[in-house]
């Protein structure tokens, strides 16, 4: 098989990139190991806890025992399905803070400052929040990716936002617009009651239009590199090994776990590690697999005084009712991911932009679908956004079918502990405000008895969970930076005709969920390939004028 461009991974970055290349008339083949995304478990937003716990849709990765978390192994879901992780994620849409991208540029990713990436966020969006506040000048309304807001019918959503204000924090009508900092409505990739994954937003429309884009189901084994140039991808399908040739370029968008693994299997990575597995070194790049980052979070849960939470549906009949209504009408509770209110705050004075995020949920439940034994309750998912801890993805063996070794080194930096303690204490203060205090019967977890630094640390060690935002393992930087893996055009340094277009290239994790910046990465790298650029934006994002002197 032959194509001009061979893309590995039909996920957020790869599918957006393939769409733009095919739109420009380029012949594209996408290699995807997973199968179809059809069926209610993926398409129904409220069913989000199912696909990420189903082996048919998830690679099933997990971390090594994490010393900072008492030796626990944490699951690391990554989508193994058309749409990639956008088909199994929580559908939360957060671009990231403007300062994140300015930091990328300062770290060597020239041309990726906020003014450079904002036009790509606008190009990819079809935003539906104009009637709910927010500034249309900052948003796009003609892109393939529908971005909507939940109805916020449950009183708890607005009361949580009000409590943030009562605690002295700003309101923001649109955290994806001029001002991220503050409390307000949350946005989601949901459209007409369905999960709006990149499969629904980009891939199907491209195929319907007859654009030259084809998905081949198979396991990518390695990039074929001849004379220092990527010429194709070796895959296994139906028990046979074959090569799909790329006339122009190969683009890896296989996730921040599988992309570094594939680079290493192809001879691109730290020479010592590759030689230890008997792999010939094509380009000795020590940064491949390094710089692994994630968001760690806790679920702060509260028992409710009134039976107004979603717990009343948390039984076989309630779930059947919600599911039936969604199947028949596409509406009701099944049409929301239930993350409809949020907050972004700074943990201290002297911090320029938010470093704590809140997802509010009107039920006390875990990501794996286990409800709190307390019955009616609610929770926030929260944690520090910019941990200084760094991990790595390394090869377990030279066998492409074997999962890599994933070590996040969570909580390995002392600052992480101080930041997490602040998160818990600031959150308690928000829930003690009049708007929420009347709803709180008691704190389920950590629990009122957990007060001292030592008690809080023990809780974090036992209960912190990944927010499933791994990134950074093939970081972008200047071409002469020995730790960088790709240059600011997305090109792998030391190999011609090979690029990366997923969250692996993030120099530093963004302030929020990663699906939006991953799609933006695919959109922007496609333009680098096509030799074109959208003009930079000249809008001025809001930074709290009192940030040096005040925490709020």
Residues 13-47 pLDDT 10s: 999 999 999 999 999 999 999 999 999 999 999 99
Which residues sit opposite 379 in a β-bridge?
301, 361
d(CA 49, CA 90) in angstroms, rounded, equals 8
53 is in an annotated binding site: no
User: Degrees (nearest 5) of the Cα angle 51, 55, 61?
Assistant: 100
330 is in an annotated binding site: no
How far, in Å, are 11, 34, 70, 81 from residue 367 at the CA level? 21, 22, 20, 19
* Residue 549 domain-assigned (yes or no): no
Whether 373 shows a pLDDT value over 70: the answer reads: no
d(CA 356, CA 97) in angstroms, rounded, equals 12
Question: By the 8 A CB rule, do 362 and 381 touch?
Answer: no
511 is in an annotated binding site: no
Helices (H), 438-483: 453-463
pLDDT tens digit sequence for 468-527: 999 999 999 999 999 999 999 999 999 999 999 999 999 999 999 999 999 999 999 999
* Residue 390 domain-assigned (yes or no): yes
pLDDT tier, 369 (very low <50, low <70, confident <90, very high otherwise): low
Question: By the 8 A CB rule, do 525 and 498 touch?
Answer: no
Question: By the 8 A CB rule, do 186 and 92 touch?
Answer: yes
* Average pLDDT taken over every residue of the chain: 97
Element (H, E) at 284: strand 283-284
Domain CATH number, residue 426: 3.50.50.60
- Written as one string, the DSSP assignment of 358-380 is EEEESS-B-TTSPBPTTSSEEEE
* Residue 473 domain-assigned (yes or no): yes
Question: By the 8 A CB rule, do 363 and 311 touch?
Answer: yes
d(CA 535, CA 116) in angstroms, rounded, equals 7
Alpha-carbon torsion 83, 85, 86, 89, what sign?
positive
User: For residue 67, how many other CB atoms are within 10 A of its CB?
Assistant: 13
- Written as one string, the DSSP assignment of 393-440 is EE-S-S-TTSPPEEE--TT-SHHHHHHHHHHHHHHHHHHTSHHHHTTE
pLDDT tens digit sequence for 44-97: 999 998 999 899 999 999 999 999 999 999 999 999 999 999 999 999 999 999
In this prediction, residues 455-461 reach a mean pLDDT of 98
Q: What is the pLDDT of residue 134?
A: 84
Whether 276 shows a pLDDT value over 80: the answer reads: yes
* Residue 128 domain-assigned (yes or no): yes
Whether 144 shows a pLDDT value over 70: the answer reads: yes
User: Strand pairing of 194-195 and 190-191?
Assistant: antiparallel
Share of the chain above pLDDT 90, in %: 96
Q: What is the pLDDT of residue 367?
A: 66
Element (H, E) at 530: helix 515-530
Question: By the 8 A CB rule, do 124 and 16 touch?
Answer: yes
Alpha-carbon torsion 154, 353, 538, 518, what sign?
negative
Query: What's the structural domain count of the chain?
Result: 1
pLDDT tens digit sequence for 302-328: 999 999 999 999 889 999 999 999 999
pLDDT tens digit sequence for 402-435: 999 999 999 999 999 999 999 999 999 999 999 9
447 is in an annotated binding site: no
Beta strands in 150-227 (DSSP E): 182-185, 187-188, 190-191, 194-195, 213-217, 219-226
pLDDT tier, 265 (very low <50, low <70, confident <90, very high otherwise): very high
Q: What is the pLDDT of residue 174?
A: 98
Single out the residue of 47, 13, 519 nearest to residue 251, CA to CA.
13
89 is in an annotated binding site: yes
Q: What is the pLDDT of residue 230?
A: 98
* Residue 83 domain-assigned (yes or no): yes
d(CA 327, CA 324) in angstroms, rounded, equals 5
Q: What is the pLDDT of residue 384?
A: 98
Q: Whole domain around residue 186: which residue ranges?
A: 2-530
d(CA 158, CA 48) in angstroms, rounded, equals 23
* Residue 544 domain-assigned (yes or no): no
The helix-helix angle for 98-106 and 114-124 (nearest 10°) equals: 130
* Residue 503 domain-assigned (yes or no): yes
Q: What is the pLDDT of residue 280?
A: 98
Q: Show which residues are catalytic.
A: 469
pLDDT tens digit sequence for 330-345: 999 999 999 999 999 9
pLDDT tier, 372 (very low <50, low <70, confident <90, very high otherwise): confident
pLDDT tens digit sequence for 173-224: 999 999 999 999 999 999 999 999 999 999 999 999 999 999 999 999 999 9
* Residue 277 domain-assigned (yes or no): yes
């Amino acid at each position: 098989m032959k194509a001009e461009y061979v893309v590995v991974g039909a996920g957020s970055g790869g599918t957006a990139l393939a769409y733009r290349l095919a739109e420009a008339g380029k012949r594209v083949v996408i290699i995807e190991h997973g199968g179809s995304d059809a069926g209610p478990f993926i398409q129904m937003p409220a069913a989000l806890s199912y696909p990420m716990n189903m082996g048919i849709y998830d690679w099933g990765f997990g971390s090594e025992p994490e010393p900072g978390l008492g030796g626990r192994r944490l699951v690391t879901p990554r989508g193994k399905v058309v749409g990639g992780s956008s088909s199994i994620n929580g559908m939360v849409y957060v671009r990231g803070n403007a300062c994140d991208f300015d930091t990328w540029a300062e770290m060597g990713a020239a041309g990726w400052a906020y003014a450079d990436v904002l036009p790509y966020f606008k190009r990819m969006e079809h935003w539906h929040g104009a009637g709910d506040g927010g500034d249309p000048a900052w948003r796009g309304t003609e892109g393939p990716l529908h971005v909507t807001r939940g109805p916020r019918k449950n009183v708890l959503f607005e009361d949580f936002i009000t409590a943030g204000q009562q605690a002295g924090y700003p309101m923001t009508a649109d955290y994806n617009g001029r001002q991220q900092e503050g409390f307000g409505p949350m946005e989601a990739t949901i459209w007409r009651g369905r999960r709006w994954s990149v499969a629904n937003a980009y891939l199907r429309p491209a195929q319907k239009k007859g654009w030259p884009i084809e998905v081949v189901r198979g396991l990518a084994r390695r990039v074929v590199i001849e004379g220092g140039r990527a010429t194709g991808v070796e895959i296994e399908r139906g028990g046979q090994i074959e090569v799909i040739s790329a006339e122009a370029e190969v683009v890896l968008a296989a996730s921040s776990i599988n992309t570094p693994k594939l680079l290493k299997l192809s001879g691109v990575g730290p020479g010592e590690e590759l030689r230890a597995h008997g792999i010939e070194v094509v380009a000795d790049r020590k940064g491949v697999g390094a710089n692994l980052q994630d968001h760690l979070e806790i679920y702060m849960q509260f028992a409710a005084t009134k039976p107004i939470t979603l717990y009343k549906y948390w039984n076989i009949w309630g779930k059947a009712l919600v599911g039936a209504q969604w199947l028949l009408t596409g509406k009701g509770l099944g049409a929301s991911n239930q993350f409809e209110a949020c907050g972004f705050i700074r943990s201290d004075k002297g911090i320029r932009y938010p470093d704590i995020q809140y997802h509010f949920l009107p039920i006390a439940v875990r990501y794996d679908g286990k409800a709190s034994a307390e019955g009616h309750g609610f929770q926030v998912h929260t944690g520090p956004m910019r941990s200084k801890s760094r991990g790595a993805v390394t090869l377990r063996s030279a066998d492409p079918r074997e999962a890599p070794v994933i070590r996040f080194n969570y909580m390995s930096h002392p600052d992480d502990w101080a930041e997490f303690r602040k998160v818990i204490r600031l959150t308690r203060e928000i829930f003690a405000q009049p708007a929420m205090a009347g709803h709180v019967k008691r704190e389920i977890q950590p629990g009122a008895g957990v007060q001292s630094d030592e008690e809080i640390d023990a809780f974090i060690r036992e209960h912190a969970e990944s927010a499933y935002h791994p990134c950074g393992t093939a970081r972008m930087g200047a071409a002469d930076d020995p730790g960088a893996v790709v240059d600011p055009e997305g090109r792998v340094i030391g190999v011609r005709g090979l690029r990366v277009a997923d969250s692996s290239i993030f120099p530093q994790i963004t302030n929020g969920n990663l699906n939006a910046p991953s799609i933006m990465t695919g959109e922007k790298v496609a333009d680098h390939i096509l030799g074109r650029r959208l003009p930079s934006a000249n809008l001025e994002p809001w930074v709290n004028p009192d940030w040096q002197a005040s925490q709020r």
